[in-house]
Structure 1
Amino acid sequence: MSTSTSYEAKFRVWRGDADSGELRDFTIEVNEGEVVLDIIHRLQATQAPDLAVRWNCKAGKCGSCSAEINGRPRLMCMTRMSLFAPEDTITVTPLRTFPVIRDLVTDVEFNYRKAREIPAFVPPAGLAPGEYRMRQEDVGRSQEFRKCIECFLCQDVCHVVRDHEENKQAFAGPRFLMRMAELDMHPLDEASREGLDRQRAVQEEHGLGFCNITKCCTEVCPESIKITDNALIPMKERAVDRKYDPLVWLGSKIRRRRSD
């Protein structure tokens, strides 16, 4: 922890594009109360005017300024310099899981492609939006997942996509498995009316089985969403029960026959 209000910090920042790049060393002024994004902006203003970085709100709500700081996926605007000692060298690199465009900016199109693959909420028949009624506990359960700001830090840290490029075709990643779980537990979602089977789809089309619940996605979530405990594990349990529990399987067959 710094005891002075201003000091010179050592930064290593990745510079380059999709073809090549390297870590460049900088010494830069740090003032009391600043965050890493403040320092990156000062670097742009004083030493590296062509440094590419993505940011927007600087309030931890847009998810734009995701990067890896000393190897850990973080939001630059929410990472205070007081976390580091003045003598530390702070390394800032782009998200490793996604292709680099330039410097700290990566191509996260993979995530938007996965989002488009998930069928949307199917509203209940015969009800207008203002007529929806839910129990408060169901509202609270769903609301936790809606805090997601789509910073894609959970996607970046998930080793299933981080370390295995070949998995990206079949694996949606924790952010979108969480979305599937939210829709599956929503009491008003009538996906089955449209012929959608979310539990089957999350297992067979979106790769839920690849997740081995290491909780690394939960650890980096800036909104403190319990992605693993409250979304992925319950979804795994429901999907497995549906497929392998004979009583659950029989009940689903009976309900389907009655609806027909």
Structure 2
Amino acid sequence: MTTKRTFRVWRGDGGDGELAQYEVEVNEGEVVLDILHRLQATQAPDLAVRWNCKAGKCGSCSMEINGRPRLSCMTRMSTFAPGETITITPMRTFPVIRDLVCDVSFNYQKAREIPSFTPDPATAPGDFRMAQADVGRSQEFRKCIECFLCNNVCHVIRDHEENKEHFSGPRYLMRAAELEMHPEDTADRRKVAQEEFGLGYCNITKCCTEVCPENIKITDNALIPLKERVADRQYDPLVWLGTKIGLRKGADTPIVPNTRPAPADEPR
């Protein structure tokens, strides 16, 4: 069944633009990206929309639909009430290039700042064995499709542009947590997570978890465990004593290898 629906779509570039209203045909079973394609084909051929796979796996078509960060290819028209006007705007946290396309290079800059995986060079390839719990933890974090909806909704950078210099956002704090909790990674990422990636700015509101299209429990399984490890490093008396002993031996920045497998009851 075909019906006419009202759409308000952001048109403009940079900081200059406005919402334009369109009446567009909608067919049963369609998603918002289908409607944007029809709009391009019939009324607005110059409408800029970023997309790729149309299967919810590339993260390209992130935008805000009725104020909520979503993937347009996974947002069915049937989720909206009959007669409801659908407002489509670009992600608010990132600069607008044109229409619904944003400049998300901030995210790639933060990705380059994360120290790479650092295995023990003394371990021969193929000799290391991981517990299934550790495998499952990494697999959950690696489901991320880098849609950046979590970074978009995070109010630490959404409402405070100045924090972008010191806060990497939940997506890359999750990457730091993944490496920190990997039993074969030997680098201590707790200090860099706190001092360079701004872990302390996160106040665990769970808004990043709520918008994740892959249903990754970013807050419970990555950010909170990473915060706990940072707190252990700063306040645990045994860790403090080990740090002091390391300094007496002349180490400028003592490194505590992260070789401890996570306890069975630790959030995954």
The TM-score range, normalised by the shorter chain, is over 0.9
Say if 1:7 and 1:86, in contact at 8 Å, map to a contact too: no
Is 1:245 paired with 2:236? yes
For 2:53, the equivalent position in structure 1 comes to: 57
Q: Report which stretch shifted further, 239-248 or 217-226.
A: 239-248
**Is it true that 1:202 corresponds to 2:193 in the alignment?**
yes
Q: Distance in 2 between matches of 1:185 and 1:165?
A: 30
Instruction: Answer yes or no: is the 8 Å Cα contact 1:8–1:86 preserved in 2.
Output: no
Q: 2:226 aligns to what?
A: 235
CA drift of 1:202 comes to: 0.3
Deviations 1:162-216 (A, max 9, x none): 000000000000000000001000000022xxxxx31011001110000000000
What SS does the aligned partner of 1:172 have?
A: coil
List aligned pairs for 1:77-226, cutoff 5 A.
77-127=73-123, 129-191=125-187, 197-226=188-217
Contact 1:38–1:77 (CA under 8 A) maintained in structure 2: yes
Displacement, 1:249? 2.1
Amino acid paired to 1:60: G
Residue 47 of structure 1 corresponds to which residue in structure 2? 43
2:12 counterpart of 1:16: yes
In the superposition, the TM-score normalised over structure 2's length comes to 0.89
Q: Deviations over 1:12-38 (max 9, x none)?
A: 000000141000000001111100000
Distance 1:60 1:101, change over 3 A: same
CA distance in 2, matches of 1:179, 1:106: 23
Flag the structure with higher helix content.
Answer: 1
Structure 1 stretches of 4+ moved >3 Å: 126-132, 251-258
Unaligned regions of 5+ residues in structure 2, if any? 252-268
1:129 offset after TM fit, Å?
4.7
Amino acid at match of 1:199: R
2:264 corresponds in structure 1 to: none
Q: CA deviation at 1:251?
A: 4.4
Residue type of the partner of 1:233? I
The runs of 5 or more residues in structure 1 that have no matched partner are 192-196
Once residues 141 and 243 of structure 2 are traced to their aligned partners in structure 1, the CA distance between those partners, rounded to angstroms, is: 27
Report the CA distance shift for 1:87/1:257 in structure 2 as closer, same or farther (over 3 A). Answer: same
CA distance in 2 between partners of 1:128 and 1:23 (Å): 59
Partner SS for 1:11: strand
Identity across aligned pairs (percent)? 75
Question: Does the CA contact (< 8 Å) of 1:10 and 1:25 recur in 2?
Answer: yes
SS at match of 2:11: strand
- 2: CA distance, partners of 1:36 / 1:131: 49
The two structures have a TM-score, normalised by structure 1, of: 0.92
Aligned-CA RMSD value: 1.6
Partner Cα separation in structure 2 for residue 33 and residue 108 of structure 1: 30
